[in-house]
Structure 1
């Protein structure tokens, strides 16, 4: 596999590559760390006397090749952690293969990839919990590795955890666990080569429910039945993905529902997707998150961006495929609606408000030299990338042909890491009959220029217009007319349309207290089981400074830990004199139960 270079990694991947990693791990909840040994199977690509590995706060005990102990040193690498240099003491010749063993512990002050959660912060408050989040460059905090998506390797693991807990990883389980005294041993292997950021582990009091022969749900006991019902259509989504993108290669597609404090929506770890409990709405209305993570099984996990400057190859493609899956399940109208909402509600505000139209991070291919990729994270690679693919699909003039191209693209580059130029070359090679049209595409404007894209795809906007019209009524009509509205006019809409109505109200109008009270009376949004609807209404009511909403908002940020919700709600509560003291009190009381990342983010709002 070609190495394109990666500004986020110090690995000398032009000299060596990692073919396989075996992990012998012991998970200590008492010390809140992992200790053990990583065995790296290396292939020498060019004569070399050393290897550079990415590291972050690891405490290296020893390094060895067979019986030979090796010298190593650690160098500061700024925002990217540390460089671990292991000297072989001799020249390893091109073509040779060796096994490097590194004994280590994760940082005593914490590993950026690991979140040890006290039992009080879990759903059932029965047992402590551990989960990892290695994307983008946090795998280096739990294993010394070539922490670049350009390098893919298989892995295996033997993991010891306290007896009574279940361990899961982003691989296939090798039989059931065995007990060794107070510990339980779990074994895993991942036979498909993956980049380091897809290494994942979960340890907790977990129960399993099967959905199909290859799909299951894992969750804490109080969540597992609700989750099984909520995600019952996972197998249907997987089959729709296979019709669209080809055979699913990862054998199993399991889901694990993480504790309420989990600050993210989902993570596409192979064989084991991580999801937030906030998508368990009770009516399967938020399962588009699952379609997104299933799409990642192809775009991202099989065909991977070679470095984080080309992140749009992972996320733009995945959003595009996710919406294709939803279109097959729920109709083209639903797909078009979501595409247009992506352009209007997620991409444009990010360009114009979160950043600015000239900001580097609004490019599809931003420069990330010396930058932690997490700092550049936004909706741009997702929505601008997806819009570019929709524009090209319309340029080609056939949805079916573009879907055939996607399948061919996956087949050509499966199990590889690529950059945007590889994709462009294949695009032009595939559509030889569209040479004139594709040669005229403003690739530089789409990919390397900040701001709004040079072209806007054509969208079917009639569902969006229905939402805008209803939002306008709530913003401008007489209260008497609003009193006469039937609640079913809105409730018959899909949950995504309801969110769109609420978002249009929040961005376009400041409602009177009377209107907010009437809206709550008609629709009872503040107690909705759909977290997206509940969140959007809370923003409207807080913007209106409607006092009865304060307690409802505080309940919400106490129940959920997802940053997407917690940060905007706390910001509005802190900015309003009437609610600031109560919000501060709630935060201080509950921060011990919150995720450390969430605590840092909320504290930053007070500066």
Structure 2
């Protein structure tokens, strides 16, 4: 019998529920971990002792902004005398092993990036360990929001962001994408709030605020997720639905109305969706990413709620992760492109299925623009697909190189070997390596034996090493052109040349992508009169589309367009998506090297940002938070 000293009543209930379940768990075995396993961002030693299943019992306090919990891990023990967990800024209260009163353990030296190893001594044949602990104010995965920081401004909110190595800040775990486990959880929070996790989820609130969860497919730790708030659910299809605050639920459901069609298109391409339901939660605006592919519950930024479904390729992206990333996972963060490059490629195939090639060509060209810009700014070694992040924060690898260079590499394979053959390869790949991890080297070997070796002449044309182990964008990259963008460029040139006024431009039917291309290609030198003309004609400063707003603000900062100043500050204070913050704060510092304006805005905005964003902007502005 497993016992912890936290929430005994809850534990008994969970054990009863577990005993009554006939469902067979799919657990990771040590045999599934590659014999050459290594991860520079984890202290774990899974070939000696590895986690298999987590039983997590937690009490969440919005008053103290802490989680008090017990993490009971079933382990596979290869005659090891200890098991090693990753932790960072956790208060460890007590450790039990196989029911013993108290186990010996110690915390190793603290590393500013990796945190501390938790080393637990194991008796012979040990099968489980239980760790009683509390989170601290320095748990970077957790963002505690007060009511004013939410959309509806009625209740507090908590969400987690575990990728890349932040799961260790709220759960002691073997925090590597190469180690998978199943889990059950029981969480108690405020009864007026709904709790959700990356698992089977409720659709209504409980009067007692206690919720039970189960994830029967093995996942890596970075896909552990939880959200707690005043949340409602609305069904979209038989397998799909959306969660959001009450004031956002109708707009969110309308925006994501095509999710079922996306799921059908994805299964048609690369096989059965293996995670049961696919739901999305729209989080408060401080969420630092566009989306996060937590299994069964994608986390989404509200900045994609544009009212016209023009930004929902992000949902296609997160859905695609159900195959590339969640099903077949990069073994460590140096192989990040295996998650994201595949997913961008897959996302565009879904969008092509729904909206056609012309539409996808706009996405491809915007992606190439992003890639070229970032490649020009990064050190050459960081533009390889195979990264070298040893000794660094793995967030450093979250650039368009992994996403866009990876996707264009896969496009190149498709171009050379044909879509039919490449789709056949990918279907086999996702099936053969389902619920396993993948290294770049293992993928290259499998690709060569399964596809490339069938035609050595085409293999030479591919120049695989240039793509994976070389800098920049190889000169054999697929051609990227968009007829719709060409029409945008013609209209923009005519206006720039003075052929007609902005209000005379034929923009009816333009998508967000066409407007974004228009803004990205505005002349470097614009007069205040031209900025005023554009704003008066198209209402950029008052746009409800975050992509358009962010692109416009880069110009207003550069050209000192004062009418947009208040809107810019309001945007930066309310939106925490790092994709927007980095270029806007960069533009502010370039326009004012003293950083006075950027720092003044940031001081107001910082409490609304997640640590993923503040870590980046703190460094950019050399900002020291005097409130901590």
- TM-score relative to the length of structure 2: 0.89
SS at match of 1:164: coil
> What corresponds to 1:117 in structure 2?
145
Determine if the alignment matches structure 1 residue 362 to structure 2 residue 395. no
Tell me if the contact between 1:351 and 1:362 (Cα under 8 Å) persists in the aligned partners: yes
Determine if the alignment matches structure 1 residue 351 to structure 2 residue 385. no
Q: Aligned residues, how many?
A: 586
Cα deviation 1:550-579 (Å, max 9, x = unaligned): 223223223322222233334434554699
> What corresponds to 1:73 in structure 2?
106
Larger displacement relative to structure 2 (327-336 or 546-555): 546-555
Tell me if the contact between 2:42 and 2:174 (Cα under 8 Å) persists in the aligned partners: yes
CA distance in 1: counterparts of 2:149 and 2:165, whole angstroms = 26
Tell me if the contact between 2:574 and 2:608 (Cα under 8 Å) persists in the aligned partners: no
Q: 1:411 to 1:603 in 2, by over 3 A?
A: closer
Tell me if the contact between 2:188 and 2:210 (Cα under 8 Å) persists in the aligned partners: yes
Cα shift at 1:540: 2.1
Determine if the alignment matches structure 1 residue 483 to structure 2 residue 501. yes
SS at match of 1:80: coil
Q: 1:584 to 1:82 in 2, by over 3 A?
A: closer
Cα shift at 1:213: 1.8
Determine if the alignment matches structure 1 residue 149 to structure 2 residue 177. yes
Tell me if the contact between 1:216 and 1:255 (Cα under 8 Å) persists in the aligned partners: yes
Cα shift at 1:174: 6.9
Q: 1:54 to 1:162 in 2, by over 3 A?
A: same
Determine if the alignment matches structure 1 residue 416 to structure 2 residue 450. no
Tell me if the contact between 1:312 and 1:382 (Cα under 8 Å) persists in the aligned partners: yes
Determine if the alignment matches structure 1 residue 30 to structure 2 residue 63. yes
Cα shift at 1:597: 4.9
In the alignment, structure 2 segments of 5+ residues that lack a partner are 1-31, 623-628
Find 1:287's aligned residue among 312, 329, 332: 312
Tell me if the contact between 2:358 and 2:482 (Cα under 8 Å) persists in the aligned partners: no
CA distance in 1: counterparts of 2:183 and 2:607, whole angstroms = 35
Find 1:455's aligned residue among 455, 473, 476: 476
> What corresponds to 2:264 in structure 1?
239
Q: 1:330 to 1:66 in 2, by over 3 A?
A: same
Q: 1:452 to 1:593 in 2, by over 3 A?
A: closer
Tell me if the contact between 1:442 and 1:454 (Cα under 8 Å) persists in the aligned partners: no
CA distance in 1: counterparts of 2:618 and 2:80, whole angstroms = 47
Find 1:208's aligned residue among 198, 210, 233: 233
Cα shift at 1:529: 2.0
> For 1:369-448, what aligned pairs fall within 5 Å after superposition?
369-396=390-417, 398-431=418-451, 433-438=454-459, 441-448=462-469
Tell me if the contact between 1:40 and 1:99 (Cα under 8 Å) persists in the aligned partners: yes
Cα deviation 1:409-464 (Å, max 9, x = unaligned): 11111111011222222223332532442255322221122223352113344333
Aligned-CA RMSD value: 2.2
CA distance in 2: counterparts of 1:380 and 1:126, whole angstroms = 40
Q: 1:424 to 1:573 in 2, by over 3 A?
A: closer
SS at match of 1:339: helix
Q: 1:122 to 1:405 in 2, by over 3 A?
A: same
Cα shift at 1:602: 4.4
> What corresponds to 1:552 in structure 2?
567
> For 1:447-596, what aligned pairs fall within 5 Å after superposition?
447-474=468-495, 476-478=496-498, 481-483=499-501, 486-487=504-505, 489-505=506-522, 508-573=523-588, 575-576=590-591, 585-595=600-610
> For 1:29-68, what aligned pairs fall within 5 Å after superposition?
29-44=62-77, 46-68=78-100
Cα shift at 1:349: 0.8
Q: 1:588 to 1:341 in 2, by over 3 A?
A: closer
SS at match of 1:511: coil
SS at match of 1:48: coil
Cα deviation 1:563-601 (Å, max 9, x = unaligned): 222333344345546998766555444544444554554
CA distance in 1: counterparts of 2:592 and 2:99, whole angstroms = 67
Select the structure that is richer in strand: 1
CA distance in 1: counterparts of 2:594 and 2:354, whole angstroms = 43
Q: 1:416 to 1:581 in 2, by over 3 A?
A: closer
CA distance in 2: counterparts of 1:339 and 1:484, whole angstroms = 27
Cα deviation 1:224-258 (Å, max 9, x = unaligned): 11111111111111111111111111111111111
Tell me if the contact between 2:389 and 2:396 (Cα under 8 Å) persists in the aligned partners: no
CA distance in 2: counterparts of 1:575 and 1:370, whole angstroms = 30
Q: 1:510 to 1:242 in 2, by over 3 A?
A: same
Tell me if the contact between 1:211 and 1:228 (Cα under 8 Å) persists in the aligned partners: yes
Cα deviation 1:495-521 (Å, max 9, x = unaligned): 21221121122xx52211222111112
Cα deviation 1:358-401 (Å, max 9, x = unaligned): 2x2211111122222013321110011001001111010x2222
Tell me if the contact between 1:176 and 1:186 (Cα under 8 Å) persists in the aligned partners: no
CA distance in 1: counterparts of 2:595 and 2:179, whole angstroms = 48
In the alignment, structure 1 segments of 5+ residues that lack a partner are none
